[in-house]
């Protein structure tokens, strides 16, 4: 039997990408086919390094070769990825912008943004994080970077700010440029131009995902960011109370306005309940129950999960090392899972929004 490329593509065209609902060949995800006798190797180029379906797809490929060609073929598969993009994000080199938003303050936006960014990076993606909360920047404290000052360099005669690298991601916070002991009594136009610089004047290089931690509300920063930098999708954080849900709904309402039109990747409910170590069976729903799911159903968006109130989350944030990096198994797994879900959602949106063939070839 003489193996050939045609046969291989024919066989693999029976494997469907479960999220994107098309076969791997049509999706142009099969590349680098090499044949040597009955040894076959090829690459499967997933649209997210975090793809939770990686194992499933690899198995399906092996089965297809075995079934449609022969069990005798020795198959070696290189599972790799190239994050897709769909629209010009307005920041050269940045494929996707993910906004973390809420409407209400103090619900855990910064906590989710930081752990999401680190979770995406843990899967192998190139990740940046912008902390755009001018009046309450959290990145300096959460990443142990109080007092850090980004370098400015000259690139082609223009000043470029160098994001600070920590824990494998690139960071910029409006807090790096203001005195932590001084208030920032700035009105809207000043705030807007400061935030724009974090996107435009920084040397982000190539990024798969740029996570943006937005302030509460639907004000100047939101208007400026959504108008200047087309956002791939938004993750909405809420706590379970009515007053938080009301604000979250408004935040979502703004993102869904025709002129802005940011897809909602999903809802995360934070501070859902508390479980004392002494009563591991008990869940105390201090802020009420089920608000996140209710909101997700209302706007027909995926519910991405709930995060309990856990001391190590606030402690790790205060100590400069977000919880996803610490050894606490359950929480870091939860945030990694969240990162996978978000990456998956983005890959689906990108596939829907553009001719995928075209996108993967970019």
Give contact residues for Mg ion (rule: CB under 5 A): 109-110, 133, 138
Interaction residues for a copy of itself, span 90-129 (CB under 8 A): 103-107, 110
Residue choice 154, 156, 182, 300 for contact with a copy of itself (CB under 8 A) = 182
Whole-angstrom distance between the N-terminal and C-terminal Cα of the chain? 36
Q: At closest approach, how far in Å is the CB of 152 from ligand ADP?
A: 27
67 contact partners, CB below 8 Å, separation of at least 6: 11
- Residues binding a copy of itself: number (CB under 8 A): 61
Q: With contact defined as beta carbons under 8 Å apart, do 214 and 222 qualify?
A: yes
φ and ψ of 280, to 5 deg: -65, -15
Residue bearing tokens 């190590």: 312
124 vs 144, which CB is nearer to ligand ADP? Answer: 144
Order of strands, sheet of 39-46, starting from the edge strand that comes earlier in the sequence: 30-36, 39-46, 74-81
The backbone torsions φ and ψ at residue 272, rounded to the nearest 5 degrees and listed phi first, read -65, -40
**326 scored as a contact of ligand ADP (CB under 6 A):** no
Q: Which residue has the tokens 């999708």?
A: 233
Looking at the DSSP bridge assignments, the partners of residue 233 are 98
CB of 60 to ligand ADP, least distance (A): 37
Q: Which of 175, 266, 317, 322 binds ligand ADP (CB under 6 A)?
A: 317
Cα separation, 350 vs 47, whole angstroms: 9
Question: What is the sign of the dihedral through the CA atoms of 293, 121, 159 and 110?
Answer: positive
270 binds ligand ADP (CB under 6 A): yes
Which residues share a beta bridge with 32? Answer: none
Secondary structure letter of residue 58 according to DSSP:
H
258 binds a copy of itself (CB under 8 A): no
Q: Which does 249 bind (CB under 5 to 8 A by kind): Mg ion, a copy of itself, ligand ADP, none?
A: a copy of itself
The least CB distance from residue 201 to ligand ADP, in Å, is 24
Radius of gyration of the chain (CA): 22
Whether residue 292 contacts residue 269, with contact meaning beta carbons closer than 8 Å, is answered with yes
Site string for ligand ADP, 110-139 (x = CB under 6 A): xx--------------------------x-
Q: Which one of a copy of itself, Mg ion, ligand ADP, none interacts with residue 119, CB within 5 to 8 A by kind?
A: none
Q: Is 243 in the site for a copy of itself (CB under 8 A)?
A: yes
Q: Residue 254, interface with a copy of itself (CB under 8 A)?
A: yes
- Give least dist CB 160 to Mg ion, A: 26
Tell me the C-alpha distance between 61 and 78, whole Å: 11
* Contact pick of 77, 256, 309, 353 for ligand ADP (by CB under 6 A): 309
238, containing H or E segment = strand 233-238
115 contact, one of a copy of itself, ligand ADP, Mg ion, none, CB 5-8 Å limit per kind: none
Per-residue interface string for the shown chain with a copy of itself, residues 203-242, x marking contact by CB under 8 A: ------------xxxxxx-xx---------------x-xx
Under 8 Å between Cβ of 11 and 65: yes
Phi-psi category of residue 112: left, alpha or beta, with phi > 0 → left and psi -120 to 50 → alpha: alpha
Alpha carbon 193 to chain centroid distance?
Answer: 25
Q: How far apart are CA 358 and CA 355, in angstroms?
A: 5
The residues of the shown chain that bind a copy of itself, judged by CB under 8 A, are 103-107, 110, 134-136, 138, 141-142, 180-189, 191, 215-220, 222-223, 239, 241-244, 246-247, 249-251, 253-254, 257, 274, 276, 278-279, 282, 284-288, 309-311, 314-315, 317-318
Residue stretches of the annotated binding site for ATP: 103-110
The residues of the shown chain that bind ligand ADP, judged by CB under 6 A, are 102, 105-111, 138, 241, 243-244, 270-271, 286, 307, 309-310, 313-314, 317
């Amino acid at each position: 039997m003489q193996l050939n490329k045609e046969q291989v593509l024919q066989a693999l065209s029976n494997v469907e990408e479960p999220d994107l609902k098309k076969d791997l060949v049509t999706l142009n995800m099969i590349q680098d086919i090499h044949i040597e006798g009955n040894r076959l190797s090829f690459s499967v180029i997933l649209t997210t390094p975090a793809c939770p379906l990686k194992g499933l797809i690899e198995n399906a490929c092996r089965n297809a070769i075995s079934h449609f060609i022969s069990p005798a073929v020795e198959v070696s598969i290189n599972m790799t990825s190239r994050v897709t993009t769909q629209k010009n994000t307005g920041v050269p080199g940045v494929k996707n912008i993910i906004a973390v938003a809420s409407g209400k303050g103090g619900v855990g936006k910064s906590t989710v943004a930081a752990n999401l960014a680190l979770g995406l990076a843990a899967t192998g993606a190139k990740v940046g994080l912008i902390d755009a909360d001018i009046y309450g920047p959290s990145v300096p404290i959460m990443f142990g970077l109080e007092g850090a000052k980004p370098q400015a360099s000259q690139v082609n005669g223009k000043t470029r700010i160098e994001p600070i690298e920590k824990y494998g991601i690139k960071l910029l916070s409006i807090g790096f440029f203001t005195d932590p002991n001084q208030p920032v009594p700035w009105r809207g136009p000043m705030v807007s131009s400061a935030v724009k610089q974090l996107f435009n004047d920084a040397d982000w290089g190539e990024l798969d995902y740029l996570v943006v931690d937005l302030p509460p509300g639907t004000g100047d920063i939101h208007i400026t960011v959504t108008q200047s930098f087309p956002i791939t999708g938004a993750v909405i954080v809420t706590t379970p109370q009515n007053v938080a849900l009301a604000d979250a709904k408004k935040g979502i309402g703004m993102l869904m306005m025709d002129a802005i039109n940011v897809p909602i990747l999903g809802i995360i409910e934070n501070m859902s309940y508390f479980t004392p170590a002494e009563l591991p069976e008990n869940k105390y729903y201090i802020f009420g129950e089920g608000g996140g799911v209710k909101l997700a159903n209302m706007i027909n968006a995926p519910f991405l999960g709930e995060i309990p109130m856990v001391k190590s989350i606030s402690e790790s944030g205060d100590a400069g090392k977000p919880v996803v990096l610490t050894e606490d198994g359950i929480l870091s797994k939860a945030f990694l899972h969240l990162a996978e879900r978000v990456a998956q959602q983005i890959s689906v949106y990108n596939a829907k929004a553009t001719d995928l063939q075209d996108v993967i070839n970019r």
